[in-house]
Amino acid sequence: MPGTLKNILDWVSRVKPAPTPNLVCFLLSASPSMVGGYRGLQALRIPLETMGVIVLPDMFALAQAKTPEDVDRLTGAAPAGARLKAGCAAFLETALAMRPIADRRR
């Protein structure tokens, strides 16, 4: 995780009450490595959950994505595309379910 992002998360996490309760997050990455940025997603999950963000259990990491064309090609393929669509659908379902809770806080 880039240091600047980590610093921002650290500073935001100090604000009380937390500015991010009931915020829903679906972590995804694309990377030229064989792991696809999965390790970075795991490192990002911890501070987000500490801040009260609802991080979906499934994460999407796209490996061997060196160019934008690779991302288009790989996400169009059956296994990766299906996982990405399922993750986005779960995100939307969770975010819409949490919406009434967020509205009550205002």
pLDDT (0 to 100) of residue 26: 95
Exposed/middle/buried for residue 82 (C-beta within 10 Å: 0-12, 13-18, 19+): exposed
- Nearest residue to 30 (alpha-carbon basis) of 76, 87, 70: 70
For 21-57, write each residue's pLDDT tens digit.
Answer: 778 999 999 889 888 889 989 988 988 888 889 999 9
Distance CA 90, CA 20 (A): 19
pLDDT (0 to 100) of residue 89: 94
Distance CA 80, CA 62 (A): 8
Whether the Cβ atoms of residue 13 and residue 51 lie closer than 8 Å to each other: yes
Q: How sure is the predictor about 92, in pLDDT bands with cuts at 50, 70 and 90?
A: very high
